[in-house]
């Protein structure tokens, strides 16, 4: 089991690194050393490790700042971080440690302490963060926590619910391996566009299957959605056989189990803008989101739809004033 756990060592001191390598391999962990000169955040995104052990003296004593960067990026924040630090630096930078790491050990670490801290950090990560096993994006527990915090803050926010249309039929015909590739590629597209078009503290989560969420600010909602639709539609043709692309559909089972001509995959993004703080709880948020999703499912191709305001108490119709018109992907 431990061989499936990948630990990254970001330790510049050669002697200390050799000791740690010996111990971790003796405990049968899969160990990777941070390549010299590599950007650690990008390396972690690429490697998706189970845990990182980082020296506070890394990169001219910027180790603690790097830890904060790791925790500040939603693509790496789930990774348990153990920092190695000397006693003098510990006294000076105690606040930074509290804000940026999951645990710390005084250098050089006692082997028994190190082994216990690793086990506890991994157990805590599995219990609390519940990252999706396929995409490594935050899962349901973190999504719920972020939504509750957004609602409680009373600050304007925008909630995106993203669903891949006709994914099940694609998965049935092409198999789960290709289906998983679509899921991971979609996760990368969403994450990339949130980074490029959104804010530094925006959130991306993976509910499971082909469903994703974004939490951003209302001013960033449509730019993120438009670019995500463009990129998804550009990716889709590469996932089908040329004959299916030519036909514009695949022959597969529909949701009732009958064989049918199923359109190629597209993306639906339901966006709830809580601009005026009128959405007060998760149930109301999901009620509006579900209504948007149901409307989008009846449209062909990739679309997003925004609720620009929620129902006022005096509205005669349930939908009065609730939705904007849909916006299709721009060529």
List of domains in the chain: 2-128 (3.40.50.2300), 140-328 (3.30.70.270)
- For residues 6 and 118, the answer to whether their CB atoms sit within 8 Å is no
Buried residues in 201-238 as b, exposed as e (16+ CB within 10 A) = ebbbbbbeebebbbbbbbebbbebbbbbbbbbbebbee
Please check the confidence at residue 125 and state whether its pLDDT lies above 80: no
Q: What is the pLDDT of residues 133-189, one digit of tens each?
A: 788 788 888 898 899 999 998 889 999 999 999 999 999 999 999 999 999 999 999
Q: What is the pLDDT of residues 77-94, one digit of tens each?
A: 878 899 998 887 776 665
Please check the confidence at residue 326 and state whether its pLDDT lies above 70: no
Task: Give the whole-angstrom CA distance, residue 124 versus residue 50.
Answer: 12
Would you tell me the crossing angle of helices 176-197 and 218-235 to the nearest 10 degrees?
140
- For residues 54 and 81, the answer to whether their CB atoms sit within 8 Å is yes
Averaged pLDDT, 107-122:
92
Buried residues in 68-94 as b, exposed as e (16+ CB within 10 A) = eebbebbbbbbbbbbbbbeeebeeebe
Place of tokens 């803008």: 273
Q: What are residue 110's phi and psi, to 5 degrees?
A: -70, 130
Task: Compute how many other C-beta atoms are within 10 angstroms of the C-beta atom of residue 246.
Answer: 9
- Pick the range with the lowest mean pLDDT from 89-98, 182-191, 247-256, 273-282: 89-98
At 313 the pLDDT is: 39
Per DSSP, helices labelled H in 164-249 are 167-174, 176-197, 218-235, 242-247
């Amino acid at each position: 089991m431990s061989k499936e756990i990948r630990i990254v060592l970001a330790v510049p001191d050669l002697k200390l690194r050799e000791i740690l390598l010996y111990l971790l391999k003796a405990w049968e962990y899969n160990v990777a050393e941070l390549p010299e000169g590599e950007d650690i955040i990008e390396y972690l995104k690429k490697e998706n490790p189970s845990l990182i052990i980082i020296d506070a003296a890394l990169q001219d004593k910027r180790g603690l700042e790097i830890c904060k960067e790791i925790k500040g990026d939603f693509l790496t924040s789930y990774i348990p971080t153990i920092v190695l630090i000397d006693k003098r630096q510990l006294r000076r930078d105690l606040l930074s440690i509290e804000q940026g790491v999951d645990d710390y050990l005084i250098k050089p670490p006692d082997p028994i302490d190190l082994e216990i801290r690793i086990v506890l950090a991994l157990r805590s990560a599995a219990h609390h963060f519940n990252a999706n096993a396929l995409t490594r994006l935050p899962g349901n527990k973190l999504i719920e926590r972020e939504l509750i915090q957004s609602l409680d803050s009373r600050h304007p926010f925008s909630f995106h619910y993203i669903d891949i249309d006709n994914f099940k039929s694609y998965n049935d015909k092409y198999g789960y391996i290709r289906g998983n590739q679509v899921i991971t590629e979609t996760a990368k597209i969403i994450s990339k566009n949130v980074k490029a078009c959104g804010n530094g503290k925006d959130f991306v989560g993976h509910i499971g299957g082909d469903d994703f969420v974004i939490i951003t600010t209302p001013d960033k909602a449509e730019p993120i959605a438009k670019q995500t639709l463009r990129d998804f539609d550009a990716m889709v043709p590469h996932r089908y056989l040329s004959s299916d692309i030519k036909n514009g559909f695949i022959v597969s089972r529909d949701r009732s189990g009958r064989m049918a001509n199923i359109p190629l995959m597209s993306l639906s993004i339901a966006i709830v803008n809580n601009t005026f703080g009128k959405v007060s709880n998760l149930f109301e948020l999901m009620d509006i989101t579900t209504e948007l999703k149901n409307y989008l499912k009846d449209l062909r191709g990739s679309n997003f739809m925004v609720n620009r305001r929620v129902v006022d108490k005096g509205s005669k119709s349930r939908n009065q004033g609730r939705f904007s018109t849909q916006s299709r992907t721009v060529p």
